Amino acid sequence: MRIKWLENPNIDFMGKRKIAYVISSVLVTISLISLLLRLTPIGSMFGIRQTWSIDFTGGRLVQVYVEAPISEVRNATLKMGIKAEIQNVGIANEYLIKYKEDIEPDSLVKGLKNLLRKDVRLDRAEHVGPKIGAELREKAIILTVVGLIVILFYIWLRFDILFGLGATLALFHDVIITWGIHSLFGFETDMTVIAALLTLIGYSINDSIVVADRVREYLGRFRLIDVSPKDLERLFNDAINSTLSRTVITSFTTFIVVLSLLLFGGPVLFNFAFVLTVGVVVGTYSSIFVVSSLVLDWRLRGMKKGK
């Protein structure tokens, strides 16, 4: 599949890389501040609510059966002063309710019966301690960082260290900005957000590898000693432009899918879909600007030192 107006583009991406650096720096700074305030105790000093879900902070998990739609169950818990995560599990009308409030499962069931005016069967009740939640939080962060480091070594072996560093920095860039925007809206970080961030890493690195492979192909046609800085910049632009049609088609189709999940997937899929919707946009931007711009500037610096 081809897009005619993108078959022979001649867009000066590398000429705009300084603007991209400014945009990225601003977004990363805002995102880091948001994450610092939303996901650490520092935010509580300023009256800002932490947004870790009970998966990471501890709370109660209750599974009930009630013949009522999930929207009515959610409204009933809100009337009881409980901001719960509710999802349908197993069979119809079987709901998993997660909440942080200090309310016993029996009291929750009694309140649901009174508000819904229907029988409510308690099938399961668990308490997630804060220690377990903290361990999950640490493991989730470690898993994400380890994944990025492994990708660095893979690209180092597959291409070279400059592409490896560029792609890894771009992945950190994508994760920080996407997670930061998510936290900026005050949405909770739960296990689905971590899953979405790991999915984003896989998506983004795939796009970066396609661009990096084309840049390497173009670089292989010349001896770098014979290439001037302007020629090298044009070479990077040509490589990116040659993959632009593929990038636009892949990103657009992926964006339509995750946007549909965001709009029609309901509360259970909202966090996952939101992170991927933002992540696809940020990942596409970074694969075009961040990776190539960093590698180009590093090579230009190396050429100046070699003189």
Residues 152 and 67 in one domain: no
pLDDT in tens, 30-82: 999 999 998 888 887 777 777 777 777 778 888 899 999 988 999 999 999 98
Q: What's the confidence (pLDDT) of residue 258?
A: 94
Q: Is residue 51 part of a domain?
A: no
Q: Which two tokens stand for residue 99?
A: 């909440």
pLDDT in tens, 192-203: 898 899 888 888
Cα separation, 179 vs 187, in Å, equals 10
pLDDT in tens, 84-119: 888 887 678 888 888 888 888 899 999 999 999 999
Residues 188 and 81 in one domain: no
Q: Is residue 48 part of a domain?
A: no
pLDDT in tens, 110-167: 999 999 999 999 988 888 766 666 677 777 778 777 877 887 777 777 777 888 888 8
CATH number for the domain spanning 211: value is 1.20.1640.10
Residues 117 and 20 in one domain: no
For residue 85, the enclosing domain spans 59-128
Residues 111 and 148 in one domain: no
Residues 148 and 107 in one domain: no
Residues 98 and 200 in one domain: no
CATH number for the domain spanning 80: value is 3.30.70.100
Given 107, 128, 149, which residue is the final one in a domain?
128
Residues 70 and 168 in one domain: no
pLDDT in tens, 282-306: 999 998 888 889 988 988 887 676 5
